[in-house]
Amino acid sequence: MQLNAARPLPTSNTASATSLAELQAWVDDVARLTQPDRIHWCDGSDAENKALLASMESDGTLIALNPETHPNCWLHRSDPDDVARVEHLTFVCTRERDDAGPNNHWMDPAEAHSRMDGLFEGCMRGRTMYVIPYCMGPIESPLARCGVEITDSPYVVANMRIMTRMGAAALRRIEREGSERTGTFVRGLHSLGELDPNRRFIMHFPEELTIKSYGSGYGGNALLGKKCHALRLASWQARQEGWLAEHMLIVGIENPQGETHYVAAAFPSACGKTNLAMLIPPARYREAGWKVWTVGDDICWMRPGADGRLWAINPEAGFFGVAPGTSAKSNPNALATIQHDTIFTNVGLTDDGQPWWEGLDDRVPAFDWKGRPYDPANGPAAHPNARFTVSAAQCPSYSERAEDPQGVPISAIVFGGRRASLVPLVFEARDWTHGVQVGAAMASETTAAATGQVGVVRRDPMAMKPFCGYNFGDYFAHWLSFDTADAKLPKVFHVNWFRKGDDGKFVWPGFGENMRVLEWIIGRVDGKADAVETPIGLLPDASMLDLDGLDLSADALRTLLAVDEAGWAAEHADVQAQYAAYGDRLPEPLRG
C-alpha cells in the first residue's frame, strides 16, 4: 500500500475510534493513501442513519418517495454503466494460480495490490471516508464472522446498515476477537472512484481476508459484506474451518402437526430464490395448517453440529432483491415487506412518487430508471436488475429463528435453475455423493444480474460459479468430505420450475404452487412419500404429488416428469468436458 506518512490524518468523528490497534493502524494507512477530507466511524445508530439519508436527499443521491404510500422509502439512480456485477473484472488473488482455479479470474496478489493502490491513491479527496464495522450473522452466533468496510459512498453505508449487523455492537465483537488473535476480521476497501468502467476492479485476497473494490457503486460490487465477503472470502474460510458458505436461501416448512423442516436451496440469481424463501402456500394448504417461515433469501452458512446435522445461519440481515417481476401474484410477502423503510435502486417512478417496475401492476409510470419521462421506445421503465434493499425483519413470514445464534437444522438441500427442457420438475439424489454430483452439474440460463448476454445456458455448480473463492475441484472435494460415519446429512434434491412446452410457455404454474413439490420433498425427508427409481435419481410420479385444483393436462405432467435418457447422456458428456479444466483437482467421484 502506497503511503504518504508525512500527511496528517484528517479529522474523525471520534478521537478514540477503536481499542484494536491492528484495526486503527489499517484505517490510518487507508486514510493516508486515499486522502479523504474527513473520517467517519459508523455506529449504526438511528441518528446517524437519519442524518446520512438527509444528506443524500439534499445532494440528489436519494429521492424521497411518496410518504403516504411508501413512508421512509428512497429511490437511488445509479450510473447507467454501473447496474450489475462485473464478473469479467472480478478477480481472486492467491499466491498459487491453481488455488483460485479456472472458475475464477486470477491475478498475482502483488500485481493486484499495486494496481488497486494506484487507483486508490488520493481518490477520496473532497469526500468523507466511512468506516463500517459489521457482522455477518447474529452478533452472538459462533457461526458469524465480522468485517470492516471502508468506503466513500454514503449509499453503501445506508445499504450495509440494512444488509448486515452494522455499528457499535459489531465493533465490540471485532475488538473482542482481535484481542484474542490477529487477522480475525475481513478488511474491505471500496471507492466509487470516477465510476469509469475502464477503471473498475473487484479484487479478493482470500489468504489475507482482504477485498479491494474500485469504480462501482452497484450492490454486489460495493456492498462488500454481501457476495465479496459472505461468499467469495467466506467459502475460502469455510474450507479452512470445516463449514460451507453457500449461495442458498433458507426456508422453514411447518406441517399441520407443527413440525418445521428447514430447507436450503441454491438457485442462480433471479431464478426465484426470493419467491421461494417467502412462499405463501395455496389456500388449501394454509387451511390444512401448513406454514412457511423465511430465514434468508440468498446466502447460507452451514456447519456440522454435535448431533451430526448441518446447522445454518443467514449471514445477512436484509434482502437485496430484484424488483422487476415482484408483484402481488408472484411474491405478496416481498411486496408487503418493501412498503416502508426501503431503498429502491433503478426502478421507475409514478407521477405521485411511487416506485414502479415491470410486472408490478398496470399503471403507466411517469419516469424511467434514468430519470427521463417514460417512453416505451427507450426500453423498460425499471432496469431489469433494479433492486430493493430492506430489513428481513419486515417480512410477514420472517422467522424468529433467523436470529438464533445456533442457527437452524437443515433437513434438505435443493438445487435448481432455469432449464427450458430436459430437467424434470423435481428429483432426489440417491445419496450425498450423488447429491454433490447433481449440484456440481447444475446449469441455468443467464439473467440480468450479471453483465453479458442474457438467456444463455451455462454451467453454474451449486449456483456458485460467480462466487466460489477457490478452485472448484477443491470445492467439490470439500462438499464430499462432509459424508462421515457420524454425519446425519440432509437429503439432496433438484427442482426446475421453468420447464417449457412446445408452445414456449412454462408448463408448471410456479410461485405458491411450488408448495406441492416442497410437500413431496418433506415427505421424502420424513420417510412418508414414495418415489420411482430412474437413471437420474428418485422421482415422484403424478400420483405422488398433490395436484388437486391444478389445471394440468396428462401431456403436461408427462413433460414435467419425463426422463430423456439420450438427452441426459449428452448432458453428462457436456459436464465431463467442462470438468476437464480442473484436472487432478477434480475428486474421483465426479470423474467418468
- Tens of pLDDT along 454-493? 667 789 999 999 999 999 999 999 999 999 999 999 999 9
Residues marked as binding for GTP?
270-275, 387, 418, 511-514
pLDDT of residue 14: 72
- What's the residue count for the chain? 592
pLDDT band per the 50, 70, 90 thresholds, residue 37? very high
Q: What is the pTM of this model?
A: 0.95
Q: Which residues contact 258 (CB under 8 A, 6 or more apart)?
A: 289
pLDDT band per the 50, 70, 90 thresholds, residue 262? very high
In which element (H, E) is residue 285 found? helix 283-288
Residue 111 has pLDDT above 90, yes or no: yes
**Which CATH entry fits the domain spanning 246-318+398-510+522-529: 3.90.650.10, 3.90.228.20, 2.40.110.10, 3.40.190.10?**
3.90.228.20
Closest CA to 585 of 476, 481, 440, 482: 476
SS3 133: strand
pLDDT band per the 50, 70, 90 thresholds, residue 181? confident
> What is the residue-wise DSSP string for 80-110?
TT-SSB-GGGEEE--SSHHHH-TTSEE--HH
CATH topology agreement for domains 11-79+89-241 and 246-318+398-510+522-529: no
Fold of the domain spanning 11-79+89-241: Phosphoenolpyruvate Carboxykinase; domain 1 (3.40.449)
- Tens of pLDDT along 212-247? 999 999 999 999 999 999 999 999 999 999 999 999
Q: Which residues contact 416 (CB under 8 A, 6 or more apart)?
A: 265, 266, 267, 271, 272, 442, 494, 495, 496, 497
Give catalytic residues, as residue numbers. 271
> What is the residue-wise DSSP string for 177-195?
HHHHSSS-SEEEEEE-TT-
Grid coordinates in use for 427? 428429483
- Burial (CB count within 10 angstroms: exposed 0-12, middle 13-18, buried 19+), residue 592: exposed
User: Which DSSP symbol is given to 85?
Assistant: B
The residues spanned by each domain of the chain are 11-79+89-241, 246-318+398-510+522-529
Residues marked as binding for Mn(2+)?
227, 247, 298
Residue 35 has pLDDT above 90, yes or no: yes
Rounded to the nearest 10 degrees, the angle between the axes of helix 21-34 and helix 109-120 is 60
Q: Which residues contact 402 (CB under 8 A, 6 or more apart)?
A: 294, 295, 296, 314, 392, 393
User: Hey, what's the torsion of the CAs at 550, 552, 556, 557, to 10 degrees?
Assistant: 60
Phi, psi at 450, each rounded to 5°: -125, 145
Rounded Cα gap, residues 164 and 152, in angstroms: 18
- Tens of pLDDT along 540-585? 999 999 999 999 999 999 999 999 999 999 999 999 999 999 999 9
User: Which DSSP symbol is given to 10?
Assistant: P
pLDDT of residue 5: 53
Task: Enumerate the H helices of 414-483 as residue ranges.
Answer: 432-440, 472-480
Residues marked as binding for substrate?
85, 218-220, 269, 385-387
